[in-house]
Amino acid sequence: MSLKKELKQLKNDGKWIELMDAIHDAMPFLFSPGRPTHEQIENSEIGRTHHENWSEYIRWELDWNDSGWRAWIRAYKVVLAYPYLRKLDVTASIINI
């Protein structure tokens, strides 16, 4: 299964932590401070699908938006810091309260 299909399926199934894990595994530079380099973009799923940045990719390939991404990455960083949250059925919205 392609990364795009996997991400869409996880998003549609409401498996937000697994979705973020898949993004983290495939494109860890998205979780680092600062802007990704041109090489990182070119050599990732973003560049392979002919997009210039992550915002463009999520809008066109995943039918998602920047505010959703920011909320999920904020919550995902909490999950990384407190791994027990993986065992609970929590949403990004609950974590971000």
DSSP 44: S
Percentage of the chain with pLDDT > 90? Answer: 75
Averaged pLDDT, 44-66? 92
pLDDT the model gives residue 2: 86
pTM for this predicted structure:
0.88
pLDDT the model gives residue 82: 96
| Whether pLDDT at 1 is above 80 | no
* C-alpha separations of 80 from 42, 43, 45, 50, 52 in Å: 27, 25, 23, 30, 28
